[in-house]
Structure formats: C-alpha cells, structure tokens
C-alpha cells in the first residue's frame, strides 16, 4: 500500500506540473536574455548590452545564414557573449566570454527567443544502458504557446531560422541536399543536383598543372553516403561555373544599382550595431572599475589584508578598462577606414562595372556563392551527348542551357602512348615512368610521369596491362608455381632469389610472375646449399627492371 500511495502521489504531482505547463505558468530556468520580474512574469533582461548582443546574434544569422559564420563574426569583431551563472557563490551573475558554436546553436534553436512558452521538447527514456534523451519534432511538443512573453524575434522568423538550420544540416545527413557557402571556388556548391539519381552532387578539387589553383568537379557518388552506389556522373566544374557566371551576369545587369544601395545600407547598419556593442563593453568595464574604486575607498585603511585585495582588484579593473578602450578605438578606426574607402569604392564599381567586379580574382569565392544563392534555387546537371543544365529560380521560373561536352586539354601525345605500349612489354608501371622521365618525355598533364599515371593512361587508351601481357605468355602466379613444385610460397621466393626460377616483375609492389619451368623443373636436393647448385641464367629483362625501379 505504501508503494501504491507513492505511485499515486508522483502521478498527481506529475499531472499538476503538466497542467501548469499547459497554461504557461510553469516556472523553468530561463535562457540568457530573460528574467522573471517581481510578479513572476517573463521579461527581457534589463541589461542593454545583453539585449544588444542577442539582437546582433540574430541579425548576423539573418545576414550570414550559418551558426559557424556567427561565431566567426563575433570573433572578428572581438565581441563577447553573456552567460548567466546558475550555481556557486556568484549564482545569477553575468559572465562575458567568447561565443562558441554550441551556445550559438542553443540560442538559434530555443523558441523562447521568439516569445513562445514551450514544454516537452525532449523525451528521456531509461534503458539498461542508462538514460537517453531524444529531441522531439515540433508537432510532438507537449505545450507550445506563441506570444506568451516578449521576445527578440518574431515566431515567423524563428520558423525560418529552423528551416535554414535544417538545410545547413542536410550537408551531413543522408539527403545531403544543401549546405552553406564555403571558401572553395565551386560556384554551385550545395546547389548542383544529379539529373540521373536526383541526389546532391558533391564537390571535389584538383590542382590544374601550370596554374597552381584549385579547379572544381561535380561528382555524384550514388543515392546516399550510407548506401554507396557506382558513380552516376563526373562533370568538370570550371566549365559549368563559367556558363553559370555568364548567365548570372546577364541577370544581374538590370538590378545592379538596387543591390548596391541595399548592400551599402546593410554595411552601414552593421557598422553602427557593432560600434554600439563595443561602446557598451567599454561602459561596462568603466562601471566595474568605478565600483572597485568605491569599494576600495570604503574599506578601513588599517585593515591592510582587505585593502590590499581591493586595491589589486581595482588595478585589474583599470587595466581591463584601458584594454577595452584601446580595442574600441582600434576597431572603430579600422571599420571606418574599411567602409569609407575600400568598400565604398567597390560598391561604386558594382553599380558601374559589375561584370569586371564579378571576374575580379580578389572577390572572395564565398561572396560569389552567396549572391548565386539569392538568384538560384538549384541546378540539375545531366551529362549525355551534351551537357544539360536545368536551372530553377526562387520565383519558380526555369531555364535550360545546352552546352557541348568540354574537350580534354590534358591529352597525352600518340607517340608517348605508343612508347608506353612498347615499354609495358618489358617494365612495370613505375619502371616505365622512370624510363620516360629520364628520356625527357612529358605527359599531357604537364607533370612528371609516375606509376599510377602510367596505369591510368593505359586504362584510358585501352592498352594491355603488364599482368595481361605476362599471363598471355603463359607465366604462372606465385600460388600456381608453389602448387607446381609442391612447396610453400616462401620457398618459391627463396628459389627465385637464388636464381633457380625465372621471374618477371609485373607491378610496383615487388610481385612477380614466373616462367613455366617445363618438364624438368628444379628439384629439392637435401644436403646441397643453394649457392652450390647450378643457377639458371638470369633473364636480362628482370635485371633491367630492378635497376629501373
């Protein structure tokens, strides 16, 4: 009966808690930026610096679209983010520290910043392995009351933020549909869709010989990463990006002036917002220094233990104030110069000569991709007799480009291919590469020959491999020779090294194929050393192979 009473009491307490949550009256710990007022209602933190920091975080995400980019923006602006202490002697106090990715994601995912009361976003289950907590979708939350208290953003903006975060996360999930723009030169990174399987195409880079810069390729490796399939398509990215750049230049020309004005206003607003936050950091440091000064003045001068401690704290606050003032002046001067001179000049160029600015190598690739994402929804690539680009714009309009397949510039000369075909009769791939390099031959790739390149050229031009050539002559593998002589493979290697068997190197891993010993193969002769037995004549080819390798 006692156990039953405890169970009923727990159930009634749980029911009361859920009922209170359903009405939005349940008091739970609030995230940074919110406090309970004297009436127990949720209100914004009265500290203006805290509010401005949170507003700047949401504005940065609205502009950059990535949580990692928000962290980078805070670091570049040398701004700190608040954190409320929950326990210890400073319980409830504010701590300013560098913004981390986990904290940024917590703020972006928390619906309380949109003024909503939420309960039951997670579900905890107890198993034999311990407790496991799972995030629930929004439709499974126990309680969701929008407009329950003041917030920093609207509920519609919160929903839009969640959509953008899900799209960013798709870069790592099985769908891999979209991803935020990165630093690479691939213009369609995150926008290219495979026209064969419908999956998102990933980007690979290679360095073009003679230029030293990264060149993208769009590759589809199958329907998902977890269940890999054969490669659907491999499309040269530089060729596609050039066609898309010309299309974007055609689209952007009529609206260049409007975009210039919008960008200029956005830059000015960002500069003013960052400058205001830096000013608040200086004011906070000045307040803490003055507070430490007043504490020091109120202490009894004869109580030196306390006076020394307060004096050290005052000196520390003065140093922090001086550092904050210097940092504010330096950053303000740097931002003013950047906006007044360089950026204003570039914005003027954008309005007057957008094509030249787009093709300027100093323009960051990430900025080009951000602009492309404003104008493009996605691009479907199909490689057949022609290269088809099905372009979809955000407004629903579509456009199709038909491009001829690009001609390979890295073509090996026929004379070099013929020489490789001749040398493969005698040498392994690496030995062929060493032979060609010593004689001054140059591949179409503009680099020196090496073993994998020889194997790739032989495959591209459908040349017989070294293995096929030797096997065509009736040579035996190591296991076949061991079976023929009725001995282990290690003994076969010993006999080959001693010269009792003729072998030819067939790859660059020191593996051999053996000549058939005929009707009179070497026999085991106990009591006679291998060095005293008559050695067969070594094949001159094998000696030359070893020297070449």
DSSP 341: I
pLDDT tier at 530 (50, 70, 90 boundaries)? Answer: low
- CATH code of the domain containing 58: 3.90.1750.20
pLDDT for 374 beyond 80: no
What value does the mean pLDDT take over residues 412-435? 88
Read off the tokens for 128: 């034999």
Sign of CA dihedral 357, 362, 367, 369: positive
Q: Is residue 414 part of a domain?
A: no
Q: Is residue 504 part of a domain?
A: yes
Asked which of 16-20, 213-217, 362-366, 525-529 is least confident by mean pLDDT, the reply is 525-529
Give the span between the Cα atoms of 295 and 293, in whole angstroms: 5
pLDDT tier at 111 (50, 70, 90 boundaries)? Answer: very high
Q: Is residue 153 part of a domain?
A: yes
Predicted pLDDT of residue 174: 47
Same domain, 528 and 447: no
Same domain, 110 and 236: no
Same domain, 45 and 152: yes
pLDDT for 74 beyond 50: yes
Whether pTM > 0.75 for this model: the answer is no
Same domain, 263 and 161: no
Give the span between the Cα atoms of 240 and 248, in whole angstroms: 12
Predicted pLDDT of residue 458: 87
pLDDT for 333 beyond 70: no
Same domain, 163 and 195: no
Give the span between the Cα atoms of 532 and 489, in whole angstroms: 22
Give the span between the Cα atoms of 134 and 121, in whole angstroms: 9
Contact criterion met (CB below 8 Å) for 25 and 41? no
pLDDT tier at 543 (50, 70, 90 boundaries)? Answer: very low
What value does the mean pLDDT take over residues 239-255? 79
Give the span between the Cα atoms of 273 and 151, in whole angstroms: 19
3-class secondary structure, 382 = strand
Share of the chain above pLDDT 70, in %: 82
Domain extent, residue 432, equals 423-463
Give the span between the Cα atoms of 435 and 536, in whole angstroms: 28
Give the span between the Cα atoms of 158 and 155, in whole angstroms: 5
pLDDT for 129 beyond 90: no
Look at the chain and report how many structural domains it folds into: 4
CA-based nearest residue to 208, from 466, 48, 7, 444: 444
Distance of CA 159 to the CA centre of its chain: 24
Share of the chain above pLDDT 90, in %: 18
Predicted pLDDT of residue 159: 92
Predicted pLDDT of residue 224: 47
Q: Give the CB-side neighbour count of residue 286, counting CA atoms within 13 A.
A: 9
Q: Is residue 348 part of a domain?
A: yes
Q: Residue 378, Cβ neighbours under 10 Å: how many?
A: 18
Alpha-carbon separation of residue 358 from 71, 185, 246, 370, 477 (angstroms): 27, 13, 10, 12, 59
Same domain, 458 and 504: no
pLDDT tier at 410 (50, 70, 90 boundaries)? Answer: low
Q: State phi, psi for 513 to the nearest 5 degrees.
A: -115, 145
Burial 467-487 (b: 16+ CB within 10 A, else e): bebbeeeebbbbeebbeebee
Contact criterion met (CB below 8 Å) for 407 and 424? no
pLDDT for 32 beyond 50: yes
What value does the mean pLDDT take over residues 37-42? 88
Predicted pLDDT of residue 446: 57
Average pLDDT of the chain? 80
Same domain, 39 and 55: yes
Predicted pLDDT of residue 354: 64
What value does the mean pLDDT take over residues 380-404? 87
Same domain, 175 and 186: no
What value does the mean pLDDT take over residues 391-415? 79
pLDDT, tens digit, 9 for 90 and up, residues 140-175? 888 899 888 999 999 999 999 998 888 777 555 544
Give the span between the Cα atoms of 292 and 287, in whole angstroms: 9
Q: Is residue 17 part of a domain?
A: yes
Rg (CA), the chain: 36
Same domain, 186 and 145: no
| Range with the largest mean pLDDT of 68-82, 314-328, 357-371, 518-532 | 68-82
Predicted pLDDT of residue 313: 85
Give the span between the Cα atoms of 100 and 80, in whole angstroms: 10
Predicted pLDDT of residue 208: 61
Q: Is residue 337 part of a domain?
A: yes
Give the span between the Cα atoms of 394 and 338, in whole angstroms: 33
Q: Residue 60, Cβ neighbours under 10 Å: how many?
A: 25
Give the span between the Cα atoms of 327 and 145, in whole angstroms: 43
Same domain, 243 and 96: no
Q: Is residue 297 part of a domain?
A: yes
pLDDT, tens digit, 9 for 90 and up, residues 462-497? 899 899 999 998 899 999 988 888 889 998 888 888
**More confidently predicted of 355 and 260:** 355
pLDDT for 228 beyond 60: no
pLDDT tier at 342 (50, 70, 90 boundaries)? Answer: low
Q: What angle do CA 98, 165, 280 make, to 5 degrees?
A: 30
Contact criterion met (CB below 8 Å) for 138 and 111? no
Asked which of 71-75, 223-227, 265-269, 402-406 is least confident by mean pLDDT, the reply is 223-227
Same domain, 396 and 250: yes
Alpha-carbon separation of residue 529 from 460, 498, 534 (angstroms): 48, 10, 10
Alpha-carbon separation of residue 123 from 131, 140, 277 (angstroms): 10, 10, 38
CA-based nearest residue to 378, from 161, 176, 166, 160: 176
CA-based nearest residue to 191, from 358, 244, 236, 200: 200
Same domain, 162 and 231: no
Q: Is residue 416 part of a domain?
A: no
């Amino acid at each position: 009966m006692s156990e039953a009473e405890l169970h009923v009491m727990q159930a009634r307490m749980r029911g009361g808690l859920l009922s209170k949550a359903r009405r939005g009256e349940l008091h739970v710990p609030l995230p940074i930026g919110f406090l309970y007022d004297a009436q127990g209602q949720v209100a914004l933190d009265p500290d203006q610096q805290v509010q401005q920091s949170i507003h700047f975080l949401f504005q940065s995400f609205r502009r950059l679209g990535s949580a990692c980019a928000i962290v980078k923006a805070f670091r570049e602006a040398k701004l700190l983010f608040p954190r409320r202490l929950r326990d210890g002697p400073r319980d409830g106090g504010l701590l300013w520290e560098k913004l981390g990715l986990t904290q940024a994601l917590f703020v972006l995912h928390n619906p309380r910043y949109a003024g909503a009361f939420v309960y039951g976003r997670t579900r905890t289950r107890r198993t034999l392995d311990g407790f496991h907590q799972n995030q629930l979708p929004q439709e499974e939350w126990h309680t969701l009351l929008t407009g329950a208290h003041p917030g920093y953003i609207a509920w519609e903006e919160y929903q839009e933020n969640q959509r953008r975060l899900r799209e960013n996360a798709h870069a790592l999930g099985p769908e891999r549909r979209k991803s935020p723009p990165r630093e690479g030169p691939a213009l369609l990174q995150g926008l290219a869709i495979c026209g064969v399987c419908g999956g998102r195409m990933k980007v690979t880079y290679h360095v073009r010989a003679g230029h030293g810069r990264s060149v993208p390729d769009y590759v589809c490796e199958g329907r998902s990463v977890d269940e890999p399939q054969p490669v659907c398509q491999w499309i040269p990215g530089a060729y596609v990006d050039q066609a898309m750049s010309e299309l974007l230049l055609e689209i952007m020309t009529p609206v260049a002036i409007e975009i210039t004005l919008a960008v200029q206003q956005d830059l000015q607003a960002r500069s003013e917002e960052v400058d205001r936050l830096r000013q608040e950091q200086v004011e906070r440091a000045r307040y803490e220094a003055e507070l430490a000064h007043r504490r020091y003045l109120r202490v009894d001068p004869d109580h030196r233990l306390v006076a020394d401690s307060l004096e050290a704290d005052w000196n520390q606050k003065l140093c922090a104030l001086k550092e904050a003032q210097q940092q504010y002046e330096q950053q303000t001067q740097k931002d003013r110069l950047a906006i007044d001179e360089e950026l204003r000049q570039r914005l003027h160029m954008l309005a007057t000569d957008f094509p030249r600015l787009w093709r300027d190598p100093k323009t960051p690739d990430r900025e080009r991709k951000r602009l492309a994402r404003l104008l493009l929804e996605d691009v479907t690539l199909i490689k057949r007799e022609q290269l088809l680009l099905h372009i979809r714009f955000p407004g629903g309009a579509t456009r199709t480009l038909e491009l001829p397949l690009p001609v390979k510039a890295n073509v090996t000369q026929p004379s070099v291919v013929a020489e490789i075909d001749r040398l493969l009769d005698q040498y392994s791939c690496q030995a062929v590469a060493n032979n060609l390099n010593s004689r001054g031959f140059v591949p179409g790739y503009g680099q020196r020959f090496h073993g994998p390149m020889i194997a790739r050229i032989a495959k591209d031009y459908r040349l017989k491999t070294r293995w096929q050539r030797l096997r065509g002559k009736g040579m035996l593998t190591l296991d076949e020779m061991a079976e023929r002589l009725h001995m282990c493979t290690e003994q076969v290697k010993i006999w080959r090294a001693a010269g009792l068997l003729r072998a030819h190197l067939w790859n660059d891993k020191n593996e051999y194929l053996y000549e058939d010993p005929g009707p009179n193969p070497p026999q085991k002769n106990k009591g006679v050393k291998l060095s005293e037995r008559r050695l067969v004549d070594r094949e001159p080819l094998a000696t030359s192979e070893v020297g070449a390798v």
